[in-house]
Amino acid sequence: MPSFGTLRTPVGVIGVVSSGAAITQVTWRSTAPVGADAGPDALLDEAIAQLREYFDGERRDFDLPIDLGAQTDATRAVLTALFETVASGDTVTYGELAVRSGTTIPARGIGAIMGANPVPLIVPCHRVVAGDGLGGYSGGEPGQGLETKRWLLEHEGALPTSLF
């Protein structure tokens, strides 16, 4: 049975799901998925601790086992390339990530994969930007996607702090 926990952050309440062997989901919602419980789970506790350290500015990247779930080979390649090659403080364009992944997915397809990422923050889809700006972002509280993306990138030092 999966375990579920939450963390209040500057960009909203984050929900984390653990199978006990891997982190399977990170969401911006505070309600547990069907079938999850809040029982003891050492991996869930570690994930919450690492996320807290990240938001406190004490951690830049995550050291957690993740399970991306059922994905196509191309989607798995894109998410793995992102996880393994784009460090905190860096960004990559949708097109550059397509090349890094070794797939033939066009930039627009990379954006759709980022929107379906089951473990945002840990697999840092917020670090993927358009060639001419931030691009989109489906994370954060409802209606706050781009503000959340900007906050995360500023927090990591990838963007200058906004004046407004």
Which residue range is the domain that position 140 belongs to?
Answer: 73-155
> What are the pLDDT tens digits along the chain (164 aa)?
788 898 999 999 999 999 999 999 999 876 656 555 666 789 999 999 999 999 999 999 899 999 999 999 999 999 999 999 999 999 999 999 999 999 989 988 999 999 899 999 999 999 999 988 888 888 888 888 899 999 999 999 987 666 54
Would residue 63 count as lying in a domain?
Answer: no
DSSP class of residue 158? S
Count: domains in the chain? 2
Secondary structure of 78-143 in HEC code, one letter for each residue: HHHHHHHHCCCCCCEEHHHHHHHHCCCCCHHHHHHHHHCCCCECCECHHHEEECCECCCCCCCCCC
- 88 and 150 co-located in one domain: yes
Residues acting as catalytic residues = 125
- 47 and 91 co-located in one domain: no
CB atoms within 10 A of CB 44: 22
- 150 and 78 co-located in one domain: yes
As beta bridge partners, residue 15 has 6, 27
Residue 126, domain CATH? 1.10.10.10
- 94 and 44 co-located in one domain: no
Q: Which DSSP helix (H) or strand (E) runs through 49?
A: helix 42-55
The pTM for the full model equals: 0.89
Q: Which residues of 107-137 are buried (b: 16+ CB within 10 A; e: fewer)?
A: bebbbebbeebbbbbbbbbbbbbeeeebbbb
As beta bridge partners, residue 6 has 15
